[in-house]
Amino acid sequence: MPKPRGMKTKVIAVAFFAFVNSLTLTRPTLARAAGGTLSGDGNDKTTAAAHAGAADSTKDGSKTAAADASGASGAPGGNAALVNELQQLKDTVQAQAQRLIEHTQELESERTALHEELDRIAKLESALNVTPDNAKENPAASSATATPAGAGPPDAHVIRPPDGQAPDKRQVSITQVEHPLSFKIGAADFTPGGFADVTGVFRSTNTGTGLGTNFSSIPFNNTVPQSQLTEFRVTSQASRLSLKVDANVGNSTSVTGYIESDFNGYQPPNAQESTNSDTFRLRLFYADVTHRKWEFVGGQTWSLLTPNRYGLSAAPIDVFSTLRLDTNYVAGLVFARQAGFRVIYHATDWWTVGASLEDPQQYVPSSVVFPGGTTGIFPGQFDNGSGSTSATSATSNALTPNLHPDFVVKTAFDWKIRERAFHVEAAGLVRSFKVYENLSTPSTTDTITGGGVSLNTNVELFNGFHLIADSFYGDGVGRYIGGLGPDVIVKPDGTLSGVHAGSGVAGVEWQLKPNFMVDGYYSGAYFQRNYGLLASTAAPTPTCDGVSGFTCVGFGFPGSANTNNRAYQEATIGFIPTLWSNPNYGKLQLINQYSYVERSPWSVPSGAPKNAHVVLVYAGLRYFIP
């Protein structure tokens, strides 16, 4: 580090100002000696003659001296002395100016050296995964967002994202850099984000899915040809773009806008042929207004029911969705990304409560049997997850009738115990379902209310080691467990009945080194059977659960399709080395995932395998923009 020159600079500055002061004190003496006046005593001509003589002396020394001697009032030869003194003063000023130029060059050299040292510090902090304090930030990096003149005190322009993680609580992210750069437009800070991703996927059986694994359709060992074929694909669909805008609109009010998109949208028929024309789609788009202790969020966000890492923030980095490359995450994770409105109250620094109204969707997969079968009136009243956007018999669109928004309440506690982060949260969900049925006379509608509760924790046991445990149970909640099972069934009399279900995720995330992380999760989901007997006159005479003359309707009944899944289990481990990182240029990560998934249906034919399983291997190279 170059030696500081603060004292030397101060001495030079003091000497310069003393010299300027001496010039000010000398000017009256010089004027009186030349026969002039500083106060304007009416002798303007004499003063003008003296100034003219002084000007001429700079052109011809001998002639000017003679002219000054003959035209000046005072002792002979006085002007010649003044000319010499003036020349000496000019020389002194020129020497001082030269010294100032030299010192300015030295200061610029010092500044350059300082910036180099700060860059070295930033690189070391990045390598050590250390978050710098505000007072130690690189001036060059912060200059892009500096407060304009007259904008108020320094703290007035600092954006504090609502309910964001404190620097010492942040965990590793595979969706953004730790210290994103931003730029300023007007009073708002714009922070672009995202990453370029290329991921290779291998599956031990052919599930027929893309980047996200369809856990419900894992083929059995006796299902041909799928069970006899492996699957491999390479895709950049996970590449992502985002933009966050922060602005303070008052001393106690701030606004944050956020949009995030990737390329996992609807694929055209030729998407895998000549060109991989993956479609840009919306993931998140919301506005967050914070006023004192209150926070209001509107738009498409992660559901409030999705587990958080910290607080009740809608920010993606504060939401727990595992560190998996599989876009369906893990079997048993509770999540949704949907439109809604959320209000949050920050009661204390460690306690937060919130509630939300979110987009509903009545969900019953095609594996469920309705009274009247697929040609009756019931399939068109539910989203069956088929992906169709037109046929009423396979609705996953706006044609699905919904009674009212889903209602979620949640509270979170965030403590620090021995400087370790401790997060625990509890949430509740209320949903309603309505259906029109024509099995009774007169035809009517039926409505039921369901819901569930969750309890989640994320505890830092020791430095960089997080233990995670999430749990969820309820009835009518299948859509929130990744759509792995139905919300409800329609009973033989046309009334609705909720399907009880539960799920959980247990895992660890361990930052072994600043540039290496390992994680592992075990997860599962369970769906209880729910069915009834419907009288039938069909020939030959049908049988349901050993009762002749009846057919089964519902989910999980004896003899049901092997897509009526009772349970899912997944064990997965991942390794995430950071190959390169720089706060000014982004970072490069190699993300690896190894998983074993098993599904077990309620009923399988005699002699058939009791479960289906698949091995998943993901490897992704991901560059994050700074």
pLDDT of residue 43: 41
pLDDT digits (tens, 9 = 90+) for 1-43: 444 444 444 444 445 544 544 544 444 443 444 444 333 344 4
pLDDT of residue 120: 75
Cβ within 8 Å of residue 101, ≥6 positions away:
none
Q: Is the model's pLDDT at 150 over the cut of 80?
A: no
Mean pLDDT for the stretch of residues 466-490: 97
CB 381 within 8 A of CB 435: yes
pLDDT of residue 376: 85
Cα(17)–Cα(475) distance, integer angstroms: 82
pLDDT of residue 179: 65
Q: Is the model's pLDDT at 535 over the cut of 50?
A: yes
pLDDT digits (tens, 9 = 90+) for 9-20: 444 444 554 454
Q: Of 312-316, 322-326, 493-497, 534-538, where does mean pLDDT reach its minimum?
A: 534-538
Cα(596)–Cα(193) distance, integer angstroms: 32
pLDDT of residue 267: 78
pLDDT digits (tens, 9 = 90+) for 544-567: 998 999 999 999 999 999 999 999
- Percent of the chain beyond pLDDT 90? 59
Nearest Cα neighbor of 307 from 418, 520, 415, 459 is 459
Q: Is the model's pLDDT at 71 over the cut of 60?
A: no
CB 519 within 8 A of CB 507: yes
Residues in the chain: 626
Highest mean pLDDT among 139-148, 157-166, 495-504: 495-504
- Of 154 and 479, more confident: 479
The structure's pTM equals: 0.72
Q: Is the model's pLDDT at 174 over the cut of 70?
A: no
Cα(564)–Cα(486) distance, integer angstroms: 9
Mean pLDDT for the stretch of residues 102-115: 79
**One-letter amino acid for residue 251 of the chain:** N
Cα(610)–Cα(602) distance, integer angstroms: 9
Domain residue spans in the chain?
Answer: 6-127, 167-362+401-529+564-624
- Of 4 and 112, more confident: 112
Cα(357)–Cα(341) distance, integer angstroms: 5
Q: Is the model's pLDDT at 165 over the cut of 80?
A: no
Q: Is the model's pLDDT at 472 over the cut of 70?
A: yes
pLDDT of residue 111: 80
Mean pLDDT for the stretch of residues 29-58: 40
Q: Is the model's pLDDT at 76 over the cut of 50?
A: no
For 167-362+401-529+564-624, CATH number out of 2.60.260.20, 2.60.40.1120, 3.40.630.30, 2.40.160.10 equals: 2.40.160.10
Taking 3-state DSSP, the helix, strand and coil percentages for the chain, each rounded to the nearest 5, stand at 25, 40, 40
pLDDT band at 127 (very low <50, low <70, confident <90, very high): low
Cβ within 8 Å of residue 208, ≥6 positions away:
214, 217, 226, 231
Q: Of 56-60, 172-176, 507-511, 617-621, where does mean pLDDT reach its minimum?
A: 56-60
Q: Is the model's pLDDT at 283 over the cut of 50?
A: yes
pLDDT band at 175 (very low <50, low <70, confident <90, very high): low
Q: Is the model's pLDDT at 278 over the cut of 70?
A: yes
pLDDT band at 200 (very low <50, low <70, confident <90, very high): very high
Cα(590)–Cα(584) distance, integer angstroms: 20
Cα(605)–Cα(478) distance, integer angstroms: 25
CB 195 within 8 A of CB 219: no
Tokens standing for 533? 């007997």
| Rounded-to-10 torsion of CA 122, 124, 125, 127 | 120
Strand partners, 578: 589
Tokens standing for 356? 């939300």
Q: Is the model's pLDDT at 411 over the cut of 70?
A: yes
Q: Is the model's pLDDT at 229 over the cut of 50?
A: yes
